[in-house]
Structures are given as C-alpha cells and as structure tokens.
Amino acid sequence: MSIEITDRTPVDRADEILTDEALAFVESLHTRFAARRDELLGKRAEQQQAVAAAGTITFDPATRDVREGDWTVAPVPPALQDRRVEMTGPASPAKMAINALNSGAKVWLADMEDASSPTWHNVVDSVLNLRDAARGTLAFISPEGRTYALRTDAPLATVVMRPRGWHLDEEHVMIDDRPAVGALVDFGLHVFHVAQQLIDNGEGPYYYLPKMESYLEARLWAEVFAAAEEDLGIEHGTIRATMLIETIPAAFQMEEFLYELRDYAAGLNAGRWDYLFSIIKYFRDAGDRFVLADRSKVTMTAPLMRAYTELLVKTCHRRGAHAMGGMAAFIPSRKDEEINRAAFEKVRSDKTREANDGFDGSWVAHPDLVPVCQEVFDGVLGEKPNQVDRLREEVQVTPEQLLDVPSAGAERTEAELNANLYVAIAYTAVWLSGNGAVAIHNLMEDAATAEISRSQVWQQIANGVVYTDTGNTATRELVTAALDAQKEKLRGEVGEEQYTRFYEPAAAVVADLVLSEQYADFLTVPAYERVLADAR
C-alpha cells in the first residue's frame, strides 16, 4: 500500500479501526476520487467570482430538463420513514454518543463535521464508537465510576453520520505523499466497519452530506457510494444520504442535488447559519445590497429564509424525499427557570412553523428538547410517519426572493459586533482544545456559528457599515479594539492557563480572518493548521 498513517494509536483499540483492509479501502476511494474532488473545489472559486461579478444567481438553464422532468428518488427505507425528531451531536466521546442514542429521538445525526474538532483522536474514536453502537456494545465508565450503556427499554435513535465536507483534508492519512480527503477517510472507515452490521440490524449506512456547492459535487458522492457498495458487496442503493442545503448556490440546485443522488437520496435539510455564511462568502464583492443585518435578527420568518425553506419542502416532497428542518440549539439551564421558559417557547414556535410548513422532522441539540419537538410534530403528523404527501404546489419561489437580503432587516449594531467576536473566539478556542460542540450562553454552538460570526465582522469592515446603535463606522481599528476587549473579557472568565493555551491562539486565528483584506473561505482550515502545529 502507498498509504501511510502518521499515528497508529490515537485512541485505545485504534488497531480495530485502522486495519490493513480498512485502510486499503480508503486508499482505493482516494485514488479513484481525490483528483475529481480537487477539480470541483477549483470550480467553486470560479463560480463564486462569476456570481459576485454578476451580483446574482439564477436557476441553471442547462438543467431545466431535470427540474421539469417526471422522476422521484428511490423509496425511503423503513428505518428512515419517521424522522420527526433528530438529535445532533458528535460521536466522540462515547458518553455523548450513548446519550444521543438513548435520547428518544428517532434519528441521531452523528457528527464528524461541524460539531466535531477533527483531531485524529476524534476521527478514529468516532468511528470506533459508531461501530460499537452498531454492534450494541457501546459503553462507557466515567472517572467517577458512573456507567453509561445503551438502553434496552426503548428503541435507539437511527444513526445518520455526517462526514467532513469536501474541502477538508486529513493530514494523518498520507496517500502518495499527499493528505487524504477528509470526507473519504470519514466515510470510508465508517462504511467499511459498519455497513454489513447495520444491514443485519435492519437499517443501513446512512449519511448527511454537508457544504456542497454544486450538483456535480453530489454526483461525485453518488459515484463514491456506488464504488463502495460494489467493493463491499452490498446491494446498490443500500447507502442513503440526506444533503444539507446550506450554501446559496445549493438553494438554486435542490432538484439537481436530488436527481444526482436519486438512487441514494433520503432528503434535504435546511442549515440556517451556514446558509447565511454562504451568502456573505458568495457575495462578498457584490456591494452593500448583500450586507446582512445582525445575525440574531435574521429569523426564519424573514422573507428570504421563508423562500428558501418553502422551496426546500416543495422540492423534496415533489421528488419523494424528506424535508428536514433546522437546529434548536438551546441548552436548558439548571439555574434559571425563566430562561428555560422563554427558550422553550421559542423552540416550540420554531418547530410549529416547520411542522405546519410541511417539514417531516427537525433537529434539536439537547435531549430535553426531544419531547418538545416530538409533541409538535405528533400534533401535525398524528400516526403518519411523515408528510411527504403534502406537495405544497402553491409555493412559487423566484431567484429574487431567495436573494432578498434587505428583507431580513437593516439593524447592524456594535453590540452584536462584540457578541460575534466573543462567540468566534470562544468557539474556536474550544475547537482547538479538541471539542467541536460548545455550550455558549445556553446555546449549543458548532463551527457554523463561528463561521457566520467572523464573516459578518469581515463583511461589515469591507462595506464600512455604520452601526445603528452607536453611529460608529466598522473599521479595522474599531474591530481591533473590540477584539482586545473581548479577549480580556474571556481571559477573566477562563483563567490565565486556559487563555494562554487555547484562547490566545484562537483570538489570533479570528483576528487574521476578520482583519484580512481577503476573505478566507473557511475558518476551520487555518484552525486545523493550528491544531496540527500544536501537535507537532
């Protein structure tokens, strides 16, 4: 083999995952598909420049036949028919995996992407935990002696694993002297070790696919799935995937995404923060018409967000796929019942809107929110597993509606500038420490929050935004002063040792991103480089 693993023992029992046979499988996927991945990443930059220059996107005339054709995706398998509540969270450590599986949710999004810092430890531990979960043997004993085990009194959540996006590499797996594609490492190790066991369990290898910007990237996943099924000797179409529509070009290609993966597609999902982050990324050079209001003010009831979600429901149901709603990130407080009461009301309102709009299920980030989400969807679905039969034929969405950024409001405040910097630094610091799911101010945050936060700051500087609460103009000097203030605030909260080890380097990463004249496409790329440098 020409594959080299730089660390064979990132966790106990790593040898059970990093077997010669599994690595040969990953190497084969990489050899066949890495060059195409590289080519498609190059096309992203070309497309973004063309869109920014035009100041708009539209539905592709070249794929009109797909949008107007009479076709559906393959029938959804029984294990994915009812997805009314989906728990999200990382698959490492084992304690969190067990809690998610035991949560009472119908599905667990086992996240190796935005809610997971891609340390080599976390990558291998996640696959190990998911393999043990498929076998029914996953267990954990805490240092205090508390035992965590899979429940036997009720069904476990069905696992849908989310690998890394196409843009990330895995530096601990070298193939022909280059880092392997992170998505292929995650998918390859997982499907190799769990596919047959899951099939024997009456389920299958199911995936969430993130961050795609073109239906050609969906086509590449279809080719990867077909190759994996052939190599593993499993029936074509056994693998199933739900795609996240979390980039602005993807919103104009929902039909095409489902068509390319029609033998494998189970649905689409609406990802709020990444979607807004993508609007900033794509239209960063297109002027102040695309400058977002404070992210806390851009709700799902804003016209551009309504257009996006209603189009998603209509598209999915027309093609026989599930439409999955967004995240309820609230974490209940054990100290403040008033915070809980207000937050639960917001969650209930958000899930009620989704259920009434035709979504088939939605995400929550904490087990205590599972009953709230389930109650809302039970009230709409009753005994039905989903509402795919609700076609929403009355929905008509135009490109102008999808791009109506001003409809989200014009309030841009210096107070939120400081909040964005605080969250971006705080999240990145914990990410650098190896944890990708971070509780900040009673919300479970992942990388999408840090991305939209730092992107808003960059956009405000680039467009010279005048803050509505202070009258000050967004400049590098003002933002530098705000960064210093937030750094000191965090230093006081976490203590000097933690601040020096993680928060100071995190602040340096964030400062580079928000103060640079050139916009960086992903925060996680330089942050990953920092993780690797610290490990050397």
**Alpha-carbon distances of 181 from 36, 251, 533, rounded to whole Å:** 11, 25, 19
Residues paired with residue 244 on neighbouring β-strands, in sequence order: 269
> Which pair of structure tokens corresponds to residue 384?
């039905």
Burial label for 526, CB within 10 Å (0-12, 13-18, 19+), is middle
Distance, C-alpha 143 to centroid of its chain: 31
Radius of gyration of the chain (CA): 22
Closest CA to 327 of 268, 387, 273: 273
Whether 93 contacts 371, CB under 8 Å: no
How is 497-518 classified by DSSP, letter by letter? HHIIIIIHHHHHHHHHHHH-SS
Angle between helices 215-232 and 182-200 (to 10 degrees): 50
Backbone angles phi, psi at 471, to 5 degrees: 80, 0
- Write down the catalytic residue from 37, 83, 131, 162: 162
Backbone angles phi, psi at 174, to 5 degrees: -105, 130
Whether 263 contacts 442, CB under 8 Å: no
Q: How far apart are CA 179 and CA 529, in angstroms?
A: 13
**Alpha-carbon distances of 456 from 284, 334, 446, 478, rounded to whole Å:** 10, 32, 16, 15
Whether 403 contacts 286, CB under 8 Å: no
> Which pair of structure tokens corresponds to residue 2?
């020409």
Q: How far apart are CA 276 and CA 294, in angstroms?
A: 11
Q: How far apart are CA 248 and CA 273, in angstroms?
A: 11
* Other Cβ atoms closer than 10 A to 231: 15
Whether 105 contacts 82, CB under 8 Å: no
> Which pair of structure tokens corresponds to residue 214?
């073109």
How many alpha carbons lie under 13 Å from residue 463 in its C-beta half-sphere? 22
> Which pair of structure tokens corresponds to residue 523?
């925060």
Whether 27 contacts 1, CB under 8 Å: yes
Whether 503 contacts 491, CB under 8 Å: yes
* Other Cβ atoms closer than 10 A to 81: 16
- Write down the catalytic residue from 37, 132, 446, 454: 446
Determine whether 534 is an active site residue.
no
3-5/169-175 β-pairing: antiparallel
Determine whether 162 is an active site residue.
yes
Closest CA to 310 of 325, 294, 291, 289: 325
Q: How far apart are CA 246 and CA 257, in angstroms?
A: 12
Whether 359 contacts 325, CB under 8 Å: yes
Q: Which residues are catalytic?
A: 162, 446
